[in-house]
Structure 1
Amino acid sequence: MKIGVIGGGAAGYFAAIHASGKGNAVTIFEKSPKLLSKVKVSGGGRCNVTHRPMEISKLVKNYPRGEKFLKKVFRHFKCEDTIEWFESRSVPLKTENDGRVFPCSDDSQSIINALQVEANKLGIQVKTSTGIKEIQLKGDSYLLISDRGEFLVDSLTIAGGGYPKVDGYAFMNKLKHQIISPIPSLFTFNTPQEPIKKLMGISMPNTQVKIEGTKLNYQGPLLITHWGVSGPAVLKLSAFGAQWLFDQKYQARAIINWNADFSEQKYFEHLTQYSKSHPNRKVSNYPLFEIPTRLWEYLCDKSEVDLDQTFNSLSKKQINKLVQNLFCHILNINGKTTFKEEFVTAGGISIDEVNPETLESKYHPNLYFAGEVLNIDGITGGFNFQAAWSTGYLAGKSSVKNTI
């Protein structure tokens, strides 16, 4: 049997590896000259392989699109299986405090090497710079047409990743699968008109960020950048709000609580009590609520508090205004920026047309899908890679079952 895999990324390699055996000839077709390029740059070059193992019911909550579908997929291959697979191939992994899992080497090349060594050992052929321009149905087989010739395969897994525009899926037109129009997911918020940009580099460990006029909100670290705000809270919020923000053309208002441990009432009570306990302290010299000095000064200025004032001189109006800026600081969003080199899309092949127990097309036998080409995506933290490993594994294993 000839098995073809379109895409030389994480999902493609995993599908090819798990489709090998039983005398099958497996070939990966990659359109670019580079292989596993997203693995290379992920996590600042460290590769966030997966996330700390958790119950599947909790794991799927980290996927804005594909939750119910992935619940079935993860029963076949979950976070624990990913960790075991790499560690059994001499890639020790470590779990950081926030649950993210990285190779102990802190080098994504460790992951790349493990995948490529396994592929070589299994005799998988890899054809780079071989973009598939069209897929033709030939009975139950598939003819792949490229600039480098035509290839007939008995079984095909499409794991080519996400595309920024629907045109990217044109090579699949003859398969008649519904394509959900792709939109960006995981991006930072641009705030070009906001003076807060001058505080670039300041981070807060536990904020809550909301999108005004919606129920969308997320809690976590936030980073102020020279173009706006970033960090896990913003990135995760962008993923869950991807469609709404797209529809609004990325024009919205973010509401920030700078310390999510404090409610509006708690801020007010703490400020009032502090003013009584330390009446003669200068406001500028004693930032409260674990706020960095520069951000504290900025928020005081926004609240019309003179930094030379003492706490006991604050009027009720000034305290109320300061509480407002601490609890619901409003930033005008005007645009987005892709997070580093990590490109994630929402959209792709409709999962309603794919069997979640095998990842086989409901329309065509021996046709499988894996990775971001499906309309599934996760938040930051190793969740997108886990979806890649799990769908790649299941697609590969399923294609082998059908060749026995």
Structure 2
Amino acid sequence: MRLSFLEPLYAEPGPYASVYLDTSRDVEHPERAIALRWGRLRESLSRQGADRALTNALEEAVGSDAEIPGVHGQAVFAAHGTLVLDGELPEPPEHDSARYSTLPDAVPLVTQHVPEIPYMAVVVHYGGLPTAETHGWVTLEAETGTWPTSTVTPGERLRRRVAVATWHRSCVRLGHRLDEQARRARADAVVVGGDEWACNVLVRRLPHTLRDKIVRVGGPTPTHTGRALLEPQLDGVFRGRMAALDRELVDVFIGRRALDGPVAEGLAATVAALQRGQVAALLVNRLPGSSPQLWVGSQPTQLALTEAELASFGVRAPREERADEALVRALVGTRAELVVVAESELRLHEGVGALLRYADPRVPS
């Protein structure tokens, strides 16, 4: 999983105000409810030392996602009186929160991006007579996205309306268009729902490369919800699954570890590799959370297990920060990837390991 979406956040130095709140529109008077939540968070930020310019910058963004219907949340970050990142959450946070700190509280936002699976969703509706397959129209809508965040930030949608009489022939041309769209999105899966007859005709005429990725789903297939196509079905398809690229990285790690190749494992070894910008991908069974803490400096690669180690690198005024926040900043700063893998699939020492960009030179014995 690439963390490039966080790059604007770390382009500014701290301190940061980090706000997470429920901005769902499935309640009566949602704007009033959001305003009440924000009022409490604004007071909390003021008590923590945030100035008015900072809270005003946040206030302009809070609740600005009114066009998104249903249940969702918002993650908003500001520094030095300027909004630096406004992210949508497919699920509301468990608790509204606001922090004013030297590093941004980006981990809950990262967690809601996992596992970041690219896909294409296709819905086909047949609008003809119930006993005829030669009259009426077939409508097709297709949309690429990255699950789960695309449930609240759906991508550009392809729409086609085809006469039933020409549906068999049109599917060949449509299949090539869908294949091109799926390739651009690097889709791991193509989730198809809708009318069974029309879907069967389409699937049989898709290119083989696309047909191998088909996942058929049932259930209601509305297309005007303002959310992602096939949103309820996507959860059933992708929950507990890893993105194909992440799976490849896990397999590479397992192979390298078996051959004593360029990997690191355990917090100390991984932090040492991050200091050198050596990490291509960080693998975690879970992000370490607030404990243990790491010592950090002003730069992403300035992190260490102890204050003395960081001071030995010439870092002035090192400070203690949450390990997960320090690791995320280091990954963004060095453009490394993050892979969350279950312990049942790969048990990592201290829950953390890394694929390295290069191996350390071996010292002759």
**TM bin (shorter chain):** under 0.3
TM-score (norm 1): 0.23
Q: Which has the higher contact order (CA 8 A, sep 6+)?
A: 1
Q: State TM-score, norm by structure 2.
A: 0.25
